[in-house]
Structure 1
Amino acid sequence: MSGLMAGKVALVTGAGGGIGRGIALAMAAAGARVVVNDLGVSMSGEGGDSGPAQRVVEEIRAAGGEAVANTDSVSTWAGANAIVQCALDNFGRIDAVVNNAGNLRDRMFFKMNEEEWRSVIDVHLNGTFFVSRAAANYFKDQESGAYVHMTSTSGLIGNLGQANYSAAKLGIAALSKSIALDMQRFNVRSNCIAPFAWSRMTSSIPAETPEEKARVAKLQKMEAGKIGPVAVYLASPAASEVNGQIFAVRANEIILMSQPRPVRSVHMSEGWTPESVGEVAMPAMRSSFFKLERSPDVISWDPI
């Protein structure tokens, strides 16, 4: 097959449905041989079924591509290494890792329990690290490779009832930057996508108030398959000059997201006291304070 990923091997986690499925299909259409990883569990982590991953594999094969299903867990070191080994055993190499696997345990911070915190951190943040680390030595040795990680505006900007998810997703953005810095000498790149798309995860968003219903109606217009083209490009050699960046993708719109940089500073030659901080520093910087906004408050326009 021809395309931006011709001759490459791509590993996509959480690829049994939604955004991951769209990315796996797009990778195959671009010429990649694909490892379709998915546990096949419910959003609460129950069950386990090879069916979702295998169905995507069958879609790829029916279109003339090559793919293999994998049901190992990203949330353990052993599982992550087994996923990468699956690529090596079946296709002899690995060229791109798309860290898409995810779960949700939404709860207001003051009600969130330990299991709800740990389960989300384990899949999103630990899973992204484990799978990325499992591929790192192969990328390093072949002096090529690309990571595409899924972050979220829930972490980059903020959201209600998602302290676990937001912390994990902002952590992924920082992890991606560290990977980009550490691996650039080996010609390995790392970038993030913050996807806006209607999927199994977003279908759990409450839709009780008029505002919530309007937000869900907007999300339902954003197809999961729209994320695939950006993921393919970032994973491909065509994106050789793109590294350490964060892109939001919503419908037909691609947004380059800002990253934290100094905004203002104040200096006191004799040093600061708690009182002078309150009397001088805070008033001087107050006009540049960020509002306590949520993701839909900041990215509030209709999808294009």
Structure 2
Amino acid sequence: MDKITELAQLIEKHTGADGLFSTDIPRLNLARATAPTEPNHVVHEPAVCVIAQGRKRTMLGDEVYYYDKATYLTVSVDLPIVGHVIEASEDEPYLSLRLDLDPTMLSALLLEAPKESFSNQLPDRGMSLNPMGPDLLDNVVRLVRLLDTPKDISMLAPLTERELLYRLLTGEQSGRLRQIAQSESRLHQVNKAIGLIKRNFRKTLRIEHVASEANMSPSSFHQHFKAVTSMSPLQYQKQLRLQEARRLILSQSLDAATAGHAVGYDSPSQFSREYARLFGQPPLRDIARLKDMPDYLLEG
């Protein structure tokens, strides 16, 4: 049996139904879908995502990323994305995993590993695709295989995860992942600004204040923020507002005007226009459509 087939069988074994599942291994989540899913708007936190079967389409701003079992996705900052499964069936379900990145473990590896192990190339985007090599795939399989022996997880999962992060740090993702752990890096500064915007997304965004918190000039901040996220700070804030409004309407049955006001919109008509532009339909029609769908079809 080849490794990718084993990985697919392990994910199938530990899901068994469609949806997104947490596991006994910290930060490891599994996903399964037997049909293509709806485009799902989420804020994707730093993670490594691996597909064992099927195919997925992810959009960051105007950029489109397609990935499958031949590639893996790395996200190094919180990014508003649109993701959906595009290849899945009853006979060959979509099967994938996501391992959330642990900055503390990354920092420890940076201190301990030889400096010549790391690439000096510094990336722009906070998200990228790379080929899935045999060593990394073997590492991922061994991590998921631990779900078969729960008694071993507490001892072996940290070691296996550490090895996996080391392979990422010494591979094509080296520059991107190093910046997560280095407080002086541009990506770390942008991530600090992202955190500030996320905590205060309902308020008027003052670029000068956010840039100052990130220890950058306004022009430098705008340039680096867009390089990492593919969108301006205002566009980023708008996506956060609209995603939260959609959640409020769907989960709390708020009307559009109330939800729009709750996330910082003073004009109901402006909120409806921007909502329709992002989600494809005005709030009432969009929410009615979502409520008619099984929950798993909404998983991005």
TM-score by length of 1: 0.26
Q: Give the structure with the larger strand fraction.
A: 2
Structure of higher RCO (CA pairs closer than 8 Å, 6+ residues apart): 2
TM-score by length of 2: 0.27
